[in-house]
Amino acid sequence: MTQTLTLYPGQLDLATLRRFVFTPQTVTLSDTTAETLCAAAQSVERIVAGGAAVYGVNTGFGKLAKTRIPDDRLRDLQRNLVLSHAAGIGKPMPERVVRLILLLKVNCLARGFSGVRLDVVQILLDMLNRDVIPVIPEKGSVGASGDLAPLAHMSAVAIGEGEAFYKGERLPGRDALAAAGLRPVELGPKEGLALLNGTQASTALALVALFDAERLFQAALVTGSLTLDAARGTDAPFDPRLHALRGQQGQIECADVYRKLMEGSSIRASHQVDDERVQDPYCLRCQPQVMGAALDSLRHVASILLIEANAVSDNPIHFPDTDEMISGGNFHAEPVAIAADLMAIAVSEIGAIAERRLALLVDPSMSGLPPFLVHDSGVNSGFMIAQVTAAALASENKTLAHPASVDSLPTSANQEDHVSMATFAARRVGDINANVRTILGIEYLAAVQGLDFLAPLASSSALTAAAALLRKHVPFFEQDRLFTPDMEMADSLIMDGLLADAVSGTLTLPSIQAS
C-alpha cells in the first residue's frame, strides 16, 4: 500500500526524507498552501503592473540583467530561460535522486517566497505522484545561481519539452505528460527563474548519498566487530572509561556498540592466556576513534542538509506582504558543497580503516589464520586478490575525496565569479559510497571466513547472527571459485540494510540523527 506524505512547506524532517528516499510516497500539499501561493501570485501581478525593473521578472538574466523586457514578451522570457539553460550532459541522474529533487523544489516553492502560482507547484507534484521522472543529466552545474542546468531539465518537462521516463520508457516530455494524463504548464513572470534558481539538485544528491552512507557506517560497525573477533583482538581498548575521558560523543557511542556486539564471545577469552600481543594494531583498537569521528561528521552534514532541504534558495526572493523582490545569493550552494566534502572524507575513512582490517585478516603473521583465509594455500589463492580490489578502491577514494568546494571557475561573463561546485561535490560521494560498500562487503566475507576457521569457538550472539546471514547466501570458501558473485551478494546485504538488521535484536546502531 502506497504511503502518503502531507507536505507542510519548510518543515521536512530527516526521518521523512530518509523514508522518501528508500520508499517513494505520494505527496499532497497542506491545506493552507494554495492560499499562500495565491497571495504570492497576486503580489507578482502588482509588481509587474507597477512597471519597475525587477530582475528575472522583466529583465534578462545574469550578465543580461540590464536588458529590459517588454510586458508582451515576459512569458517568452521565462520559457526561453528554461530551454536555454537545459544544457546538461552525461547519464541521467538516478530516479530516487530526481524524485527527491522534485520534492525539494515543491517544498521550496510552496513556502510562498518565490512568486509562483499554484499551477507551477501542482505540475511538479503531479509529475512526482504519477511517476513522470524527468531525464536530468548528471553533469553541468557549478552549484551557484542555483543548479541551473539540472533544474532546467526538470522544468523543461513541466512545460512539455525535454525528456522523461514513464513506466520505464524514455519519452519526449510532452508525450510523458500526456501518457500520465497531464498537460504542460505555461510559465508566467518570474516562474521560470524560480524553477531554475535553487540548490535542490545538489541537496538531493547529497541527501541520497548521506542516507546511503548511514547504512555503510552501521554495516562497518558490524564488519569491524566481526574482524576484531576473527583476529582474536582484545576488548580492552573499548573500556568506557577511556572514551569518557576524551569526551567525543561519537567515539563514546561507537565504543559502546563494539562492546555490545562482542559481548558473550568465547573467542576473545580463549586467547588471553597464551597470547603474546600487548596491543592490537590501530585498525582494530582505534575503531571507536575513527568511526566516532565519522559519525560526528555525518551528523553535522545531516544538520546542514536538513536546513537546506527546507530553505528558500532561489533569486530574487519575493516578499508578498510588501510587494518586494530582493536580489541576493541564497542560490549559492557553498553550505552543501562544504558538507558534501566533509561527507566524502568521512566515508572514505570508513573504507580506509576497513581495508586495513581486511589486510590484517589475510596476513597469517597478523591474524593467526591460514594464509589468505583458505585451505591449501598456494594451490588456492583465497582472498588474495579480493584484498587487492579493496586496496584499489580505498586508493581511488583518496582522489575522489579531494575537496570540490575549494575550486571555482567564473561563469556568465564574470558576473558569477565564485561558484561552489556543490553538485559535483555531492555527486562524487555516490562513487565513494559504492567503493566503500564493496570494501565492507569483502571484509564481511573475510571476517566470517575467519570465524569459521576458529570453530568450535563461538562468537557473540549478535555477531553469530551477522555471520549466519551471510552463510545463508554465500558458502564457506573451501577452494578457489569466482569471487565477484560473493562480493555482489555481500554488497547487497549491506546496502539493503540487512546486515544492520541482523544485529538489531541486540542493540540499536547509531544513526545520523543525533540523540
**Confidence bin at 419 (pLDDT 50/70/90):** confident
- Grid cell for residue 272: 588471553
User: What value does the mean pLDDT take over residues 53-74?
Assistant: 74
55 is catalytic: yes
Residues counted in the chain: 515
pLDDT of residue 391: 98
Residues 6 or more apart whose Cβ sits within 8 Å of residue 154 = 98, 101, 102, 105, 124, 134, 136, 195
**Confidence bin at 506 (pLDDT 50/70/90):** confident
**Confidence bin at 48 (pLDDT 50/70/90):** confident
**Confidence bin at 373 (pLDDT 50/70/90):** very high
Residue 173 C-alpha from the chain's centroid: 27
pLDDT at residue 72 is higher than 90 = no
> What are the extents of the domains in the chain?
4-198, 206-314+330-502
**Confidence bin at 218 (pLDDT 50/70/90):** very high
Q: Is the dihedral of CA 320, 115, 93, 139 positive or negative?
A: negative
Contact 180, 166 (CB under 8 A): yes
DSSP H or E run through 95? helix 95-109
Residue 296 C-alpha from the chain's centroid: 16
pLDDT of residue 110: 97
pLDDT of residue 495: 95
Model confidence pLDDT, tens digit, residues 442-471: 999 999 999 999 999 999 999 999 999 999
pLDDT at residue 352 is higher than 90 = yes
- H, E, C per residue of 161-184: CCEEEECCEEEEHHHHHHHCCCCC
**Confidence bin at 125 (pLDDT 50/70/90):** very high
pLDDT at residue 115 is higher than 60 = yes
pLDDT of residue 1: 63
DSSP strands (E only) in 19-115: 26-29, 89-92
User: What value does the mean pLDDT take over residues 314-336?
Assistant: 92
Residue 104 C-alpha from the chain's centroid: 14
Model confidence pLDDT, tens digit, residues 189-204: 889 999 999 999 999 9
| Number of alpha carbons in the 13 Å side-chain half-sphere of residue 416 | 25
Residues 6 or more apart whose Cβ sits within 8 Å of residue 180 = 126, 127, 130, 131, 132, 166
CATH, domain range 206-314+330-502 = 1.20.200.10
Q: Does domain 4-198 have CATH number 1.10.275.10?
A: yes
What secondary structure does DSSP assign to 342-398, as a single string?
A: HHHHHHHHHHHHHHHHHHHHH-HHHH-SPGGG-TTBTTB-TTHHHHHHHHHHHHHHH
One of 55, 166, 258, 444 is an active-site residue; which one?
A: 55
Q: How far is it, in rounded angstroms, from Cα 86 to Cα 63?
A: 18
- Grid cell for residue 298: 555525518
Numbers of helices and strands, H then E, in the chain = 21, 9
Q: How far is it, in rounded angstroms, from Cα 113 to Cα 151?
A: 18
Model confidence pLDDT, tens digit, residues 244-293: 999 999 999 999 999 999 999 999 776 665 666 668 999 999 999 999 99
- Grid cell for residue 246: 576524551
pLDDT of residue 514: 60
Model confidence pLDDT, tens digit, residues 467-490: 999 999 999 999 999 999 999 999
Q: How many other C-beta atoms are found inside a 10 Å radius of the C-beta of residue 224?
A: 27
User: Does the global pTM surpass 0.85?
Assistant: yes
Q: Which of 71-80, 85-94, 97-106, 245-254 has the least mean pLDDT?
A: 71-80
Contact 315, 197 (CB under 8 A): yes
Model confidence pLDDT, tens digit, residues 422-445: 999 999 999 999 999 999 999 999
Contact 206, 426 (CB under 8 A): yes
Residues 6 or more apart whose Cβ sits within 8 Å of residue 383 = 358, 361, 362, 372, 373, 374, 442, 445, 446, 449, 477
